[in-house]
Amino acid sequence: MTEHHGYHNTFSYANDYGASVISHELSMGGKYGYFEVVVIHGNDDVLCYSIEEFNHPVGWLSFDEVMPILDKIRYLNENPRCDHKRTTSSIEDIKEKT
């Protein structure tokens, strides 16, 4: 795996979900100091794309915008479970959700 210099932290919650938060030269907005968040699931920290609101990485976030997203992930219902299959979204869909 290629190492990118920057920020990476993983958060795990009691509902078996978590988040990976990154900011580096290849993350969405990382080159400009912004953060990217993805939902992870289970002990293996597998990316989770089956949650409607988070079916894609969410990028271009300020530090203050990351915290409410982490709170949403912390309180996600355990159902539905992640299917770990990425859905396709247009850039317009992604911009509307962030």
What are 26-42's pLDDT values in tens digits? 999 999 999 999 999 88
User: Which residues, listed in sequence order, are joined to residue 19 by a DSSP beta bridge?
Assistant: 11, 39
pLDDT for 90 equals 36
Higher pLDDT: 38 or 45? It is 38
pLDDT for 92 equals 41
Give strand ranges (E) for the chain. 6-12, 17-24, 35-41, 46-47, 58-61
pLDDT for 95 equals 42
pLDDT for 84 equals 59
